[in-house]
Structure 1
Amino acid sequence: MRDKVICVGRNNVDIILDVDFARLRPDTKQPSGPARIVMGGQCMNAAATLAALGQSRGEAFSVVYAGVTGDDENGVRVREFLTARGIDGAGCITAVGLPNTAAYILLDRETGERGIVETVPEGYPPYPSTLPESIWKGASYAYFDGMDMPGSVAIAQEARERGVPTLCDVEMVSEDTLALIAACDTAILPRPVAGEIAGTDELKPMLEKLVALGARRAAVTMGAEGTAGLNEAGELCRVAALPPERIVDTTGAGDAFHAGFLFADMSGAGFEAALRFGAEVASVKCAHAGPSSPPDALHALGAGLGQKVR
């Protein structure tokens, strides 16, 4: 059976500068290595990770990216990246006459932690509220990064009507993001965002609030403290973080976690096992520079999961 994942959301051209966070002060300067330009954005990172995990399945697995690209050299770079990573760009639309969105990332040389400043050109169009029927055909899962509203909400609602499982990430709280959680089967959020939504920092009540909004399962990511989730039966589970021997770059770790969870969930792993696989994929990401792992770093993980769930 062929599996197709639809990824709806943001892409960025990331400009990465290596710095010393401890020396960042107002009115000071410090040298950096050469700026690195890579393709990123929450949804793009997740799509690239999914494509790499699924490569062991060949033509039986595909990823379709649905997002907006700029009408400039960086927009071309994004589309070339899709092709290079084996991601179908059939869901892309072009912001005519506008540059692609970008993110400037300050990466700490010592810890791999980062600070991000994103730029979105004035008048940049949101993604439409519908997908072509050709993209829906054969779809087995849909992922939303919570960045392109309100189109994502409408598409998630349609996915539910079509019986397509859905997963969302949310990093900002608004009426649209609450509606997206309500429309999705699974919501996996950073703990501070979930706490803001729930009005509490206690794990189980926090997760129960996300489920009360409409999600069927929910989890919160907590960095070095791991992940906590609430399954369909209302049972709380905890999964430990799996830090690599050396953290190189934490950029995109959350996106990798979402992709790993989705891949395992779609492969038939249970909820807790899927969360654990997400932690494995995030660990691989943190051991590599850039917003997504090199494909060859994920191939064995994807193939190994397939053997475990058979």
Structure 2
Amino acid sequence: MVVTGIGQCSWDFLATVDTYPPADSKQEVLHWEEQGGGPVATALVALSRLGVRSTFHGVVGDDELGVRIRRSLDKEGIDCRGLVTRSGAVSQRAFIVVEQGSASRTIFWQRPTGEPLSQGELSSHYLDGSSFLLLDGLMVEVSLAAAGDARQRGIPVMLDAGRLRPGMADLARSCDYVVAGEQFAFDLGWDGGDGTFAGFARSIGAPVVTVTRGTEGSLTWWKEGVLRQPAFPVAAVDTTGAGDVFHGGYLFGLLQGWELSTVLPFASAMAALKCTRSGGRGGIPDLQRVADFLQGNGIVLPRRKDR
């Protein structure tokens, strides 16, 4: 099994404080950390730790952060031959302030200054052997083209939809699974009500739509109706990257051929365990840790498929 990812990769600077500071003030940092980040890149790291191979396609600059981003993905065993370095460009970066007591975070980010990846920069063999395509839609033109290529080859496509950007609605209609944050749903007009979710999800045009809701868990609509998945309570340290890791867990479950009733608690457990450590990647668990956690919550996973 191989997952192909096209999208964002970042270098994250994380500062943990006791309370989020008001404007025009100073605040001492309790803990400082740096990690790789980005929605698709972090989801692929989660898959790698679960034993799934992946290839990543994106853009970095020829700066020091670009070197760190690539090195962090190489270390996780992700094939980065599709990660293009733009000369004279600045890599994507984020400064994340984490409030210690609540584990909530505020993200300030800068997109890469290099040109987005183009369809012509994808190898003619970039989908060979792929079992799934994962997109986040930041580079919408190449994402739409890749979704079309995958459709022609019978490869299912998942969209990580963080918020509504130009072209995202069209991209969502081209995908088999849309797994979105609440902001994306609100941007498209959902009022947040459970009773209106099915109608809203159906309007997106994808066969399966999941919206993650933080501590309220997630809602999923597909042909059999709406499935509500509660979040697992944990001693959260930092919610950074929880959605990205949720996507990785969701993809893993689909690759196993599990029913959504198993996929969703698995993805939720992945996200919950990630939140017990700082940063988007520091707390990503391996399969045994997730299985033990779920068993402690009365859920036994089916036998894993061979790689």
Q: Same fold (TM over 0.5)?
A: yes
2:9 matched residue in structure 1: 11
Change over 3 Å in CA distance of 1:109–1:264 after alignment to 2: same
Matched, 1:169 2:165: no
Which shows bigger deviation, 174-183 or 249-258? Answer: 174-183
Partner Cα distance (1:207, 1:177) in 2: 20
2:288 matched residue in structure 1: 300
2:81 matched residue in structure 1: 90
SS at structure 2 position matched to 1:126: coil
SS at structure 1 position matched to 2:271: helix
2:280 matched residue in structure 1: 291
Matched, 1:252 2:250: no
1:25 matched residue in structure 2: 22
* Unaligned stretches of 5+ residues in structure 1: 55-60
Partner Cα distance (2:265, 2:45) in 1: 20
SS at structure 2 position matched to 1:169: strand
SS at structure 2 position matched to 1:46: helix
Q: Residue 257 of structure 2: which of 243, 262, 268 is its match?
A: 268
Which residue identity does 2:272 align to in structure 1? S
1:58 matched residue in structure 2: none
CA contact (8 A) 2:48 2:78 kept: yes
Shift in Å, 1:81: 1.0
CA contact (8 A) 1:103 1:118 kept: yes
1:1-310 aligned within 5 A? 3-22=1-20, 24-33=21-30, 35-54=32-51, 61-122=52-113, 124-129=114-119, 131-203=122-194, 205-233=196-224, 235-244=225-234, 246-294=235-283, 297-301=285-289, 305=301, 307=303
Partner Cα distance (2:117, 2:196) in 1: 33
Shift in Å, 1:153: 1.7
Q: RMSD of aligned C-alpha atoms?
A: 2.1
The count of residues paired between Structure 1 and Structure 2 equals: 297
Q: TM-score, normalised by structure 2?
A: 0.90
SS at structure 2 position matched to 1:237: strand
* Unaligned stretches of 5+ residues in structure 2: 293-300
CA contact (8 A) 1:21 1:108 kept: yes
Which residue identity does 2:249 align to in structure 1? G
SS at structure 1 position matched to 2:231: coil
Between Structure 1 and Structure 2, the one with more helix by share is 1
1:57 matched residue in structure 2: none
Q: TM-score, normalised by structure 1?
A: 0.89
SS at structure 2 position matched to 1:17: strand
Shift in Å, 1:51: 0.6
Q: Deviations over 1:133-185 (max 9, x none)?
A: 33211110011122222211221122112110111111221341101111110
Which shows bigger deviation, 192-201 or 298-307? Answer: 298-307
Partner Cα distance (1:156, 1:217) in 2: 16
SS at structure 2 position matched to 1:174: coil
Partner Cα distance (2:198, 2:74) in 1: 38
Partner Cα distance (1:194, 1:70) in 2: 32
Change over 3 Å in CA distance of 1:52–1:223 after alignment to 2: same
Q: Deviations over 1:196-238 (max 9, x none)?
A: 31443333544443433321111111111111111233x1111
Partner Cα distance (1:294, 1:67) in 2: 24
